[in-house]
Amino acid sequence: MSSSSNNRAFLSNIAKLASSTTAAQIIALLSNVALTRLYSPDAFGVAAFAASTAASLAVFSTLRYQFAIVTTNTRIEKIRLVQLALSLAAISFIVFLTILPLLWYTNALPSDIPISVALLIPVLALSTSVVSILTNYQNSQNGYNSIAKSTITQSTARAGTSILTGIKWPTGLSLTLAQTLSTALSIIPLIKDSKILRHLFLSETQNINKLRETARKHSKFPKFDLWADLLNTTSANSPIFLATILFDSATSGLISLSQRVISLPVSVIAQATGQVFYKRANDLKDTPEQLSQLTQKTYRSLSAISIPLTVVLLLFGENLFAIVFGENWARAGLLSQYLITATAYQLIAAPLSALVWVCNKQEFSLYFSIILYIQRVGSFTIPILIGSSLETTILVYSISGSIVWYLYSLYLLSLTKSTTPLNCLASLPPIILLLINIV
């Protein structure tokens, strides 16, 4: 296939995923307009804590073996990796279902979290894990239509269930239940459009010794990626965890809505670009020059996209939130003005992070996650402990996060020898705009 054909296919796949993710996020955004008038910040905070905890548990439950699916070329090995990840997810579910109620009864969970929500967290973690496993399998098979359908299904089901239950029971439990059901329903398109269920039970894949051999062969994923992703996911949700513990659920609810809204571009652009970039970069790993060209083109495009997003929220964030979501949520808009800069740099770097797998640099992924964890937890906790306001804390959190993500993006460029002066300057505008806005 020619280079131009490959580029067209690459852009087509990104467009396919981006369009479905855009539709899903528009549904989510419109539903939030209704949800913020049905639910209180406290309910949002409870649901955000549950979702953040489930996301962290989901990282651990599969030992990240699902991300090895894209890197292998044989069908049988892909199926064995699916079997391995599903088995680990099932075992983890039983463990989590035992531990979470015990933590609740011993008051180890925040007092705002009811037992019903604590019991739903393992179910949400299991559903999230299964979606991740099947999404990676579909990605390896170029099954972007199935991924797109799954994304739309989840967003539609979550919005509808949240609104219907919120009319009569506007609680954190209702929001958590809606997310759990919608995540489970999003599994159906991923299974329906593939032959994965039939393949899982083929005699040629039913070999425990081969399964162990597959686990050992891809041991770098649990050895390095597991801890890197666990630190990254936990630290990404640290504002929710820490706000719930150090303030209350209402404060974490404000942060949750702010993060939901400003994460739309990350979900739409970064997720779609990242999935396709990973597959395409893996195909080009033996042709360094083409991989470098792909990396530079993707980096510059993402840098250009980040600028208007930053400008809009920096100028109008507080007023937009007050108009769209109601006056009770204006403070969330102010927080979004500070958070957008770090989000912009995450938008630039996150899709390119697949290069650590493509270039076999999982070790650095762990080091970066440790740095990111220290930055996120430290920049949120220290200002609060010395008496700073929530707004000042979020500002410190965003500026320090922007610097860390910017330096990480430069490292990713260096993996393909793409660290040119032009590329280094291309992504500087967001933090410059934030500093100008502060002054």
Confidence band (pLDDT; 50, 70, 90) for 160? very high
Coil, helix or strand at residue 247: coil
Segment of 53-57, 68-72, 255-259, 275-279 carrying the highest mean pLDDT: 53-57
Confidence band (pLDDT; 50, 70, 90) for 17? low
Q: Which residue has the tokens 């109620």?
A: 101
Pick the range with the lowest mean pLDDT from 136-145, 178-187, 231-240, 364-373.
136-145
Helix (H) or strand (E) holding 9: helix 3-38
Are 439 and 315 in contact by the 8 Å Cβ rule? The answer is: no
State pLDDT tens for residues 281-303. Answer: 877 777 878 888 888 888 877 77
Buried b / exposed e across 256-275, counting CB within 10 Å, b at 16+? bbbbbbbbbbbbbbbbbbbb
Are 129 and 181 in contact by the 8 Å Cβ rule? The answer is: no
- Average pLDDT value over all residues in the chain: 81
Please enumerate, as own/partner, the contacts of 122-125 that have beta carbons within 8 Å and a separation of 24 or more: 122/54, 122/57, 122/93, 122/96, 122/97, 123/93, 123/180, 123/184, 124/50, 124/51, 124/54, 124/176, 124/179, 124/180, 124/183, 125/53, 125/54, 125/55, 125/57, 125/58, 125/61, 125/92, 125/93, 125/96
Confidence band (pLDDT; 50, 70, 90) for 322? confident
**Alpha-carbon gap, residue 417 to 395, rounded angstroms:** 33
Confidence band (pLDDT; 50, 70, 90) for 165? very high
| More confident position, 171 or 111 | 171
Buried b / exposed e across 7-29, counting CB within 10 Å, b at 16+? eeebeebbebbbebbbbbbebbe
Pick the range with the lowest mean pLDDT from 120-124, 188-192, 272-276, 384-388.
272-276
Pick the range with the lowest mean pLDDT from 147-151, 207-211, 228-232, 271-275.
271-275
Alpha helices in 237-270 (DSSP H): 238-246, 249-262, 264-265
Rounded mean pLDDT, 346-375? 81
The answer for residues whose C-beta is within 8 angstroms of residue 417's C-beta and 6 or more apart is 288, 292
pLDDT number for residue 355: 82
pLDDT number for residue 266: 66
Rounded mean pLDDT, 11-20? 60
Model confidence at 205: pLDDT above 90: no
pLDDT number for residue 117: 92
pLDDT number for residue 421: 60
Amino acid letter, residue 201: F
State pLDDT tens for residues 235-264. Answer: 888 888 888 888 888 888 899 888 888 877
Give the domain ranges of the chain: 1-218, 266-439
Confidence band (pLDDT; 50, 70, 90) for 360? confident
Are 215 and 84 in contact by the 8 Å Cβ rule? The answer is: yes
**Alpha-carbon gap, residue 20 to 11, rounded angstroms:** 14
The answer for residues whose C-beta is within 8 angstroms of residue 328's C-beta and 6 or more apart is 36, 41
**Alpha-carbon gap, residue 102 to 109, rounded angstroms:** 10
Pick the range with the lowest mean pLDDT from 1-5, 75-79, 395-399.
1-5
Reference 171, options 48, 47, 257; nearest CA is 47
